[in-house]
Structure 1
Amino acid sequence: MAAEGLYLGLMSGTSADGIDAALVAFAADGACRLLAGRTFPWDAATRAQLLALGQGGHVDSLDEIGTLDVAIGEAFAQAALRLLAQAGVAREAVRAIGSHGQTIRHRPHGAAHDGRHPFTWQLGDAHVIAERTGIATVADFRRRDVAAGGHGAPLVPAFHAALLHDAGEDRAVLNLGGIANFTLLPAHGEVRGFDTGPANALLDAWCVRHLGHPYDKDGAFAAEGLVDAALLVRLLDDPWFAKAPPKSTGREHFHLDWLEARLRGDERPQDVQATLLELTAVSVADALRRTQPQTRRVIACGGGVRNPQLMRRLAAHLDGIALDSSAPYGLDPDFVEAMAFAWLARQCLLGRPGNLASVTGAAGPRVLGVVHPA
């Protein structure tokens, strides 16, 4: 199959703030360019349901899960069609859609954390997406990696490596989504990647609870507070931070109940927000020092790049390391993950691996995704 052409990536991450849609043009050599990108917000009721499920909430029936699976698929399909309409591109011009879906559980060590029956679960019926759009849809990217003994996450490092590796410089790519994760790109050597801990997920959840806003615009709420050093120690004392890669996590671990179990109860909300922001900055910097201390440049992407307070604290803790946005490298920081799933769809159709075993811990490279024909 020809490699060049248009692909469309769809992504809704841990923060569940919306569906990121990216229309990407690929050349035969793998070079890519974002033609159009937009985020389509979830309605408030659906987002509340997704957040509750993502942090361990229960459902009343299988009917509820089945209904949500189709509803998410419908929303993803509409996001794809709206983006194409706004870009003035006919659906027939798109070779395939790569749909991540919405993660509602990520248990790479199994539900009992005993290593038995590991799984990861993303909703968003790809049959619905293919039917509504008339475009071949590739979905269910993570489960093959889990079946091969991997974490099924993070998957984006393979895309980072293809586009951002530099033979003259040790780099790291930092994704600041709901969860923060690194891709380590040494000038020479094996690519690695792993989650470092919470980023926007906890910041957003605390902001919703105390301000009613979906996120902390410009980090203003955190800027009003002071870091609670004792609370920060209690948060960092979670054994997860000390685990060696490969490792991955999600809202099912780092959620408000996790936070509240570590609060005294008399903290000022803005001080907690400042401490959560500091938690992200410290855990990111500590993880990089432990795994690739020779790093000379960190390239940041994801929604957290839009938080100047977070970027300032990261720069402070990454003292001596250049911190850039991915924008100067031709990758809009808001749509890197959606672009990655367009790339993963292309990899699947070409019969090429989409994972990096050095990142996920899988037994080896695997072609990821299930194709749902147009």
Structure 2
Amino acid sequence: MTSTLPAQRKDSQLYIGLMSGTSVDGVDGVLARLAPGQPPQVLASSSLPMPSELRQELLALNVAGEDELARGALAANSLARLYAQAVTALLRDAGVEARDVAAIGAHGQTVRHRPDSGYTIQLNAPALLAELSGIDVVADFRSRDVAAGGQGAPLVPPFHAAVFGAPQGRAVLNLGGIANVTLLEPGQPPRGFDTGPANVFLDGWCQRHLGTPYDADGRWAATGQVVAPLLEQLIASEPWFALPPPKSTGRDLFNMQWLDARLDAYDGSRPAPQDVQATLQRLTARTVANAIDAAAAGTREVFVCGGGARNAGLMRELAYCLQRPVRATDALGVPAQEVEALAFAWLAQAFMAGSPAGLPAVTGASGPRILGALYPA
């Protein structure tokens, strides 16, 4: 496509990436310099909590309800205003003017992900964000891949390959609400897919029983015991786990109703809530390990990003189930909480350069596609 950007933006190496993930706990943002042939240089980062009312509405919009269209549009506007606050903080902290930034990559909030039915929905108001920030916005990254027959997810493996590639077998694991893994093997193109639930159950069960947003460091899970028969039932009862890649998932499948149905069907005695939490923590680690062992048994080390990297209990479970070194991506020079936002800055740069960023081997699309749509300031 032909760009109508001012000259200073055409030549700018500054990009902003914004991410609000399946956990719906906040908005992460980075302002980075993305110079060809150079590692990304993060100039500023920002993390804003999701306002409680907006969080509850976004979660509610994951399931069918009354007046969804209007509610979804209003929630998208509220999210764009929160994005704009993050942008303002990034510009201020980096000492950068809006006119010096080439583009914002804004993923939006996924409320439906049904590539099997040919659609995916990320609530966003990129035109409003462009208006509020004065910066061009690239959004809607998934739909072109889905239109080409792909899953539209995961989107980050090419970024992981560019930033975290190594001469030995390495996996990059993102632990948001859903877990996804990128497999980086010497001499092979990157592969990646979702592995199943990460924090979606851990947070939801904790919120239900403790009234806290998450299980800090897995401390509550540590007071319980893994219920092995329940763990086996959770895995065996869900055919999705056994599907080969490419595959992706979300709250459409893995939600609290999914968990409640399996707890009701469990033929053992009802476990204590803390034992369920311990079992759910093991479920995340075990399904990740199963997926990596099946797809890339030669993987020698695993680097973790996303909110789950801050959960010491979950990281210990991963090391136990994987039987490999497990570390946060901080060890590779990119803080775990910044990785996904940085990935969307990178995807925005790819769009502005007219470079296909989709990987058919990852998503199953019929070919590489330029991902995103431009909303000029």
TM-score computed with the length of structure 2 as normaliser: 0.94
Q: How does 1:349-368 map to 2 (within 5 A)?
A: 349-368=352-371
1:63 aligns to what SS in structure 2?
helix
Q: What is the match of residue 6 of structure 2?
A: none
2:18 aligns to what SS in structure 1?
strand
Q: Distance in 2 between matches of 1:355 and 1:332?
A: 24
Q: Distance in 2 between matches of 1:127 and 1:6?
A: 20
2:258 aligns to what SS in structure 1?
helix
Q: What is the match of residue 5 of structure 1?
A: 13
Q: What is the match of residue 113 of structure 1?
A: none
Moved over 6 A (4+): none
Q: Distance in 1 between matches of 2:212 and 2:316?
A: 22
Q: Write the letter of the residue equivalent to 1:153.
A: A
2:107 aligns to what SS in structure 1?
strand
Q: What is the match of residue 292 of structure 1?
A: 296
Deviating more after overlay: 323-332 vs 290-299 = 323-332
Q: What is the match of residue 279 of structure 1?
A: 283
Q: Write the letter of the residue equivalent to 2:322.
A: L
Question: Does structure 2 conserve the Cα–Cα contact (< 8 Å) formed by 1:18 and 1:41?
Answer: yes
- How far did 1:192 drift? 0.8
Q: Write the letter of the residue equivalent to 1:274.
A: A
Q: Write the letter of the residue equivalent to 2:315.
A: M
Q: What is the match of residue 319 of structure 2?
A: 315
The yes-or-no answer on 1:86 pairing with 2:93 is: yes
- How far did 1:165 drift? 1.2
Question: Does structure 2 conserve the Cα–Cα contact (< 8 Å) formed by 1:3 and 1:346?
Answer: no
Q: Write the letter of the residue equivalent to 1:303.
A: G
Q: Distance in 2 between matches of 1:255 and 1:295?
A: 30
Q: What is the match of residue 251 of structure 2?
A: 251
Note the residue ranges of structure 2 that are not aligned, 5 or more in a row. 1-8
Question: Does structure 1 conserve the Cα–Cα contact (< 8 Å) formed by 2:12 and 2:101?
Answer: no
Q: Distance in 1 between matches of 2:28 and 2:344?
A: 11
1:127 aligns to what SS in structure 2?
helix
Q: Distance in 2 between matches of 1:81 and 1:351?
A: 27
In the TM superposition, what whole-angstrom CA distance separates every residue of 1:250-280 from its partner, at most 9, and x where no partner exists? 1111111100101148321111110100000
The yes-or-no answer on 1:150 pairing with 2:150 is: yes
Q: Write the letter of the residue equivalent to 2:128.
A: V
- How far did 1:48 drift? 1.0
Q: What is the match of residue 115 of structure 1?
A: none
The yes-or-no answer on 1:346 pairing with 2:346 is: no
Q: What is the match of residue 213 of structure 1?
A: 212
Question: Does structure 2 conserve the Cα–Cα contact (< 8 Å) formed by 1:12 and 1:100?
Answer: yes
The yes-or-no answer on 1:53 pairing with 2:61 is: yes
Q: How does 1:1-374 map to 2 (within 5 A)?
A: 5-54=13-62, 56-110=63-117, 118-166=118-166, 168-237=167-236, 238-264=238-264, 266-319=270-323, 321-374=324-377
Question: Does structure 2 conserve the Cα–Cα contact (< 8 Å) formed by 1:40 and 1:79?
Answer: yes
- How far did 1:322 drift? 2.2
In the TM superposition, what whole-angstrom CA distance separates every residue of 1:300-330 from its partner, at most 9, and x where no partner exists? 11111111111111101111x2222111211
Q: Distance in 2 between matches of 1:52 and 1:61?
A: 10
CA separation of 1:279 and 1:124: change in aligned 2, threshold 3 A: same
Question: Does structure 2 conserve the Cα–Cα contact (< 8 Å) formed by 1:180 and 1:196?
Answer: yes
Q: Write the letter of the residue equivalent to 2:186.
A: A
Q: What is the CA RMSD across the aligned residues, in angstroms?
A: 1.4
Question: Does structure 2 conserve the Cα–Cα contact (< 8 Å) formed by 1:23 and 1:36?
Answer: yes
Q: Distance in 2 between matches of 1:4 and 1:291?
A: 39
% of aligned pairs identical?
A: 51
Q: Distance in 1 between matches of 2:39 and 2:144?
A: 26
Q: Write the letter of the residue equivalent to 1:38.
A: S
- How far did 1:61 drift? 4.3
Question: Does structure 2 conserve the Cα–Cα contact (< 8 Å) formed by 1:4 and 1:28?
Answer: no
Q: Distance in 2 between matches of 1:72 and 1:2?
A: 27
In the TM superposition, what whole-angstrom CA distance separates every residue of 1:94-113 from its partner, at most 9, and x where no partner exists? 11100000001000101xxx
Q: Which protein is richer in helix relative to its size?
A: 2
Q: Distance in 2 between matches of 1:348 and 1:30?
A: 18
Question: Does structure 2 conserve the Cα–Cα contact (< 8 Å) formed by 1:77 and 1:128?
Answer: no
1:202 aligns to what SS in structure 2?
helix
Question: Does structure 2 conserve the Cα–Cα contact (< 8 Å) formed by 1:76 and 1:124?
Answer: no
Q: Write the letter of the residue equivalent to 1:209.
A: R
In the TM superposition, what whole-angstrom CA distance separates every residue of 1:132-187 from its partner, at most 9, and x where no partner exists? 00001000000000000000000011100111112x20111111111111101111
1:109 aligns to what SS in structure 2?
helix
Give the number of equivalent residue pairs. 364
Q: Distance in 1 between matches of 2:189 and 2:98?
A: 38
Note the residue ranges of structure 1 that are not aligned, 5 or more in a row. 111-117
Deviating more after overlay: 187-196 vs 333-342 = 187-196
Q: Distance in 2 between matches of 1:138 and 1:23?
A: 14
Deviating more after overlay: 28-37 vs 243-252 = 28-37
1:364 aligns to what SS in structure 2?
coil
Question: Does structure 1 conserve the Cα–Cα contact (< 8 Å) formed by 2:13 and 2:102?
Answer: yes
Question: Does structure 1 conserve the Cα–Cα contact (< 8 Å) formed by 2:111 and 2:123?
Answer: yes
- How far did 1:3 drift? 6.4
TM-score computed with the length of structure 1 as normaliser: 0.94
- How far did 1:231 drift? 1.2
Question: Does structure 2 conserve the Cα–Cα contact (< 8 Å) formed by 1:6 and 1:23?
Answer: yes
